[in-house]
A and B are shown apart, each in its own frame.
Chain A
Amino acid sequence: AQRVTQPEKLLSVFKGAPVELKCNYSYSGSPELFWYVQYSRQRLQLLLRHISRESIKGFTADLNKGETSFHLKKPFAQEEDSAMYYCALWASGGSYIPTFGRGTSLIVHP
Chain B
Amino acid sequence: GAGVSQSPSNKVTEKGKDVELRCDPISGHTALYWYRQSLGQGLEFLIYFQGNSAPDKSGLPSDRFSAERTGGSVSTLTIQRTQQEDSAVYLCASSPNNSPLHFGNGTRLTVT
Chain A residues within CB distance 8 Å of chain B: 6, 9, 34, 36, 43-46, 49, 86, 95-103
Contact = CB atoms under 8 A, between A and B. Distances in A.
Interface residues of B, number: 24
B104 interface: yes
A75 B73 CA distance: 42
B42 A103 contact: yes
Interface of B: 3-4, 31, 33, 35, 40-43, 45, 48, 50, 56, 59, 91, 93, 97-98, 100-101, 103-106
Contacts of A44: 43, 91, 93, 103
Contact of B100 (A46, A95, A101): A46
A44 B50 CA distance: 21
A49 B40 CA distance: 24
B42 A101 contact: yes
B56 A97 contact: yes
Contact of A43 (B3, B41, B50, B100): B3
A96 B33 CA distance: 10
Contacts of A9: 40
Contacts of A99: 45
B106 A97 contact: no
